[in-house]
Structure 1
Amino acid sequence: MFQDPVRRALAAPVMQSWMTVFVAVVLQALPFLVLGVLLSAAIAVFVPPSFFARALPKRPALAVPVAGAAGAVLPGCECASVPVAGALVRRGVAPAAALAFLLSAPAINPVVLTATAVAFPDAPEMVLARFVASLLVACAMGWLWQRPGRADRLRTPSRSSYEGQGRGPAFWGSVRHDVTHAGGFLVIGAMAAATLKAVVPAEWLRAAAGHPVLSVLALAALAVLLSICSEADAFVAASLTQFSLTARLAFLVVGPMVDLKLFAMQAGTFGRPFALRFAPATLALAVAVSALTGAVLL
C-alpha cells in the first residue's frame, strides 16, 4: 500500500542528494572513527598512566603545545581524534592538552598535509598556511581552556569497567563501547549535514565569492555544514576556484575543528555544555587566525 509513495519519495532529487551526502560522510568518516576507537582502546588498556606523566611537561601551559605538535604524527581525521582525546583525559592528561591534540591531529597530520600539497600544486604555500593556522588555533584553544573554571565544564568521558578481565577482553570491550557510543553521534551529525547540504542553494556560494570578508565567512560556514573528512577536504577546497586562497584556507582550518558530526561527537564524549561553549569559540578563533595567516602567507 505504501510502497509506491515511499519509492517516489526516495527517487526525488532532494532525497537522492540527501542520501548521497549522508552515505558519503559516514563512509569517509567510519574507517577513521574505527582507527580512533582502536587507538583509544589501546591507550586505555595497554598504556600505563605513568607514561603520560613522563611524556608531557608537568605544567599544562607547556603541555598544550607539545600535545598540539603531537597531532602531526597521527594519520587520522576528526572522527579519530575525539575518542583518542577522550582516552587521554581518562588517563589523567590535562584537558587543555587533550583538547589541543583533538584540534591539531585532524589538520596537521602527514596524510592531510600531503593531500593539501597534491590538491594545490600551484600554491604550495597553502600547506604551510594550513599547518601554521591550525596549530595556532589548537594551542590557543588549549590555553583558553586552561583558564580557571574552564576545565570544570568538560565532563570526563565515562568508561565501562573492565577490571578483572584480561587485556584482550578488556581491549575488545572498550572497542565495542566506543564504536556504539561515538558511531551513534557520527550518524546524527551525518544526517544533519546531509539535510543542510540538500537545502542550501548553490547560488549563495557564487554571490558570496566576490566579497573578501563574506567569502571567508561563507566558506567557514560551508565547512561546518558539509562535515567533510579532513583527508578529503583539500580537494573540495581546491575545486572552489571562484574563492580566494584565504577563503579556502578558512575552509581547511575550520572543517577539521568545527563541523556538525564533530560537534555531535564532542557533545557525546565530553558533554553538551562543553560542546556548546567550545565549538563557537573554536569557530571564531579559527576564522580570525585563518584570515590573518592568509594575509601574511598567501
Structure 2
Amino acid sequence: MNILITGATGFIGQQLVRRLQRGHHIITVLSRNAKRASEMLGVPAYDWDYATQDVPFEAIKDCQVIINLMGENLGEGRWTKARKHEIYTSRILSTRKLVAAAPDSLHTFVCGSAIGIYPGTGDDCYDESYTVPEQRSFMQTICHDWEQEAARIESNGVRRVSIRTGVVLGHGGMLQKLLPVFKLSLGGPAGNGKQWLPWIHIDDIVSVYIAAALDSRYQGPVNAVAPNPVRYREFATALGHALQRPAFFPAPAFILKLVLGEAAALALNSYRVTPRRLLEEFGFHFKYSDLPAALADLHRPH
C-alpha cells in the first residue's frame, strides 16, 4: 500500500513508520524538515509548511492511504493566545489542505483526534455515540473541528477514520515528563487524584492506526484507549510500583494551574472513556489491557 504520513517524526509516528515498513508498505512522509525526517526514518520525505504551502504534488500523487498525525504538542508550554492559535491551526489547516489535495488514488484517510472531545468532568462513561454540545471547551472545539475537517473527504467517496487518542504510554509523551519526578520519589496524584485517566500502550495505539488504515470496517470516530481506565491516583501508585519508588506526593491543582495555566486541564480533567467500537464492532485485541502490565513492559530492565 502507498501510504503518506504527516507527523511521522513524532512519538506515535516513528513507531508507526517502523511497523508499516515491516509490513512492506511504501511510506512517504511530509515534514517541516524533510532532510531530518528522511534520515531519522529511512523513507522518502518532502518539505511541507502547512501554514504557507499547499501539499507537494509529488508526495501525494499516487497515495492510497493518508495517515495524518500532524499537530502542535498540547503539553508544551502555557496555552497563551498565540499558542492556542498554533495548536488549533496546526490541526485544522493541515487537515483542510490534505483533504483538498487528495488524489483519485486515495481510498482511506486516517486522522488524529483526541479524547478531549468529551466533557472531561466527573465519572460519567463516554463512548463514540456522544454528541458534542454547542457550548464547548477549547479541547472540545479543537477535536470537533478537526473531525469535521477530516469528514469532508467522505464526499469524495474516501473512507475516513478519526482516532480519539487517550494518554499514550511509551518512551516519550507524558511518561517522559513524569519519570524524572517519580524517580526522585516525588511522584503522586495530580489534584485530588480522583480524575479518570484514559491510557493506551504505544504498541496498541500503533496497532489501532494500522487497523484503521487497512481494515475497511473502520469508519468515523474510534476511541483509542485501553478497556480499563484508572483514576489518576491508581496510575501514580502503579507507576511508582513499576519504578520501585513511593508515589504519595500530590501535585495540588492550584500549583498546576499556576505553572501550566489552562494546559493544567491535561492533568486535572477527568475522562472516563470506553473503546466500545474497537471491542464490539472490530474485535480489536489489546496487547495491554491492564495498566500494571503496560507499565511493567515499559520499565522492565533491559
Q: Same fold by TM (over 0.5)?
A: no
TM-score by length of 2: 0.24
Give 1 or 2: higher strand fraction.
2
More helix per residue: 1 or 2?
1
Normalized against structure 1, the TM-score is what? 0.24
